[in-house]
Structures are given as structure tokens and as C-alpha cells.
Amino acid sequence: MANGSTSELNFLKRGLSSPQIAGLQGLAASPADNWWKEVLESKDLLLAVRNGYLNAYVKGQSVFKIAFDRGGSAVSQPRLAIHYKYLVKPDLEKKDPYVSFDGKTFDLKPADIVNTEYESKLTLPQLIRTAARFAGPEKSGVHKIARKEPKVVDLEIAFTKAGENGDLSAPRMDIAVLVQVEAGKAELVFCEAKCADNPELWGLEKLSKGAKRLTSPERLTAVIAQVRKYEQFIQAKEIQESLVEGYVKVCKNLVEISGQSRGRRVDDVVRQVAEGKLELSIHPHVYLLIYDFGEDEKKGRIKNKRTELKKAGVRTIAKGDPGAFELANDIVRARAEWSDSSD
């Protein structure tokens, strides 16, 4: 990728256009109730800026996508798309799940089973409740961490493009957070999150041919390989330049969206990056967040695992309860532990 052209790096782009922001602003300023106003006010939805659209997350589940029409006017109208499974009404679990069948027809009305139209103050909470049922502990943990940290600017971050053989060749990471480490500068830090019982923390993976040996002579844990892949990707100069450009745009969009509702506040660091008051750079290392474990594990196998990972060059932050993370501050403290090494 060292000589990658701008077109080859299009998969790294982030941001909404002025017409797209104007389309959202039109809904936010409307005197009538609408779904976007309720999205802005919801404390359960986390918004992530993509390339020309938004994803809305509940506990790691992308509940819906907010795209826009392709009209050439100064305002692009938002168009919501949602997976049908989230339209199932959550109260059904309290009722008899079986539907009578007379040999020809099923005794049901679709509107009793799924949301077929949007009702203000009712439908969005139902979508959120249904989506939460699909969330596993790992993604729920990511949600808790991100919801508590206002400097998080992205979630479920997919940097993917089609390779020559059709495979997706670039990585996906869980969280991107801004950290201010010195006056006038901020870093974007990518994090990968794992529950303590995730097999990738404990399982072994064979080294690929020519790969650097990090642990035993022939094998390394899968998570070490994963973090190494992420770091190799983000450390490339042209990748870092594209990421900086994209995430400055993301910060600008988050500030613009925050101006549409008091329920969407942004952190001052986000605002300063958006306004160019803080110079943004990409931190070259990925932090591994480990959670969902007890005090005995913390002093035992988790401590041992973190020591092993540190020897392999993997930076970790571990807390039994994901709700205990204060991610930006945690990273600043963790950086101090590496101050005599490559950080």
C-alpha cells in the first residue's frame, strides 16, 4: 500500500456532505414530531458516521442505517433502512408464541407481529428493545464503554476493500477514541474489545510463513495476530493521512449533529479537532480492552495473560466490569506504562 493512490484509499473515507447534514437539520427543525428527533434524543442509540451515511447502534447491534437520496439539490433527504428482525415487536415474548393454522391461512395480523408503520414515542423504543435481545456480552460491553466515554468517535469500524481474489483485506476494529496527550494535539486511538472468556485470548494460531515470532517458537495467540494485523495496517503513512482526513470530517459531522439537539452533546476535544484547534494524528498502536471477569481472575489468569501479551508488545487495559472503563483516561494511564518503550 505504500504507493496507494487516492482512489485505492476510498474505502477509508468518512463523512457526510453538506446536503446530507442539511437533510437531517430539516427534520430536526421541523415543528412536527419525527423519527430523527427521537433518534437525537435517545440515550440508548450511538451514532457512527460512515462514508455518506450513518449507522445507529444498540449494544453493538446496527439497528438501522440512515442513508440519503441521490438528488442534486442542496438538501439530501434521509432514508432509513432497517433489518426486518428488529421490526418484531418485543412484547410478543410475553404472549403465546404459537399461531393457529386452519390448513390454509395463519390466524394473525402482520401489524400485531411487526411494526409496519412508525408511531412517535412508541416505535423507536420497541426497535431498541428488540435489538438489545440480539446483543451478546462482548458487544454489550463495547456499548457500555462507548456510552460512558464522550471522546469515542466511532464504533464497529470496518476498513474493508475487495482484494484481487474478492476477499476483504483490511481490518475491523471496535472503538475509536480521541486522546489529548499534549497541548495543541490529539491522537485517535483504535481499540479492540474482548470478553475474558473469548477463545481468541487463549487459543493458539499457527504462524504464517515469514511472520515474526512473538511468543512460542511456532505459535502465537490469535488475538496477538489480530492486533498485529491492525497495527500494521494503521501504521502505513498513506493510511494514517487518509484516516486523519476522514476523522476530522467525522468530528465536524458530530459537532453539526450535536447542534440539532441538546441530547447530542459532544466532548470539547471532539469540537477542537473539528475546528482545527487540535492537530489530529493516528496512534500507531491498538489497545486491547479485556472485561467480564471476577477479582480472582484479575489476580490470576488475567494478570498472567496481560503479562504474556505485554511481552508480545500488545497494550491492554483490563477491568472486570465494562462499565468501569473511562477509556480516554485509561489510555493516558496505560501509555505511561509504555513511556520507556515505543509509545
CA distances in angstroms from 184 to 55, 77, 187, 272, 281, listed in the order given: 30, 37, 11, 9, 11
At how many degrees (to 10) do helices 137-148 and 327-337 cross? 90
- C-alpha count within 13 angstroms, C-beta hemisphere, residue 91: 9
Q: Which three cell numbers stand for residue 245?
A: 482526513
Pairing relation of β-strands 185-195 and 61-68? unpaired
CA distances in angstroms from 44 to 99, 148, 186, listed in the order given: 32, 11, 27
Residues 153-186: tens digit of each pLDDT: 999 998 866 554 545 456 789 999 999 989 999 9
Q: How far apart are CA 189 and CA 234, in angstroms?
A: 10
Q: How far apart are CA 87 and CA 61, in angstroms?
A: 13
Residues 225-253: tens digit of each pLDDT: 889 999 999 999 999 999 999 999 999 99
Q: Which segments within the chain are labelled E, that is strand? A: 46-49, 54-58, 61-68, 78-82, 152-158, 172-182, 185-195, 204-206, 219-221, 279-282, 287-291, 315-319
| 97: confidence class by pLDDT, cuts 50, 70, 90 | confident
Pairing relation of β-strands 61-68 and 54-58? antiparallel
pLDDT > 90? residue 342: no
Residue with cell 408511531: 119
Question: Are residues 67 and 53 in contact, defined by beta-carbon separation less than 8 angstroms?
Answer: yes
| 201: confidence class by pLDDT, cuts 50, 70, 90 | confident
Q: How far apart are CA 27 and CA 40, in angstroms?
A: 11
Q: Which DSSP state fits 13?
A: -
Q: Across residues 72-101, what is the average pLDDT?
A: 89
| 337: confidence class by pLDDT, cuts 50, 70, 90 | confident
Question: What's the chain's average pLDDT?
Answer: 88
150: CB partners within 8 A, 6+ apart:
265, 266, 267, 270
The predicted structure's pLDDT at residue 207? 41
Least confident of 64-78, 261-275, 280-294: 64-78
Question: Are residues 227 and 286 in contact, defined by beta-carbon separation less than 8 angstroms?
Answer: yes
Amino acid at the residue 222: A
The predicted structure's pLDDT at residue 74? 86
CA dihedral of 25, 31, 32, 33, whole degrees rounded to 10: 60
Count of H-run helices and E-run strands, the chain: 12, 12
The predicted structure's pLDDT at residue 341? 53
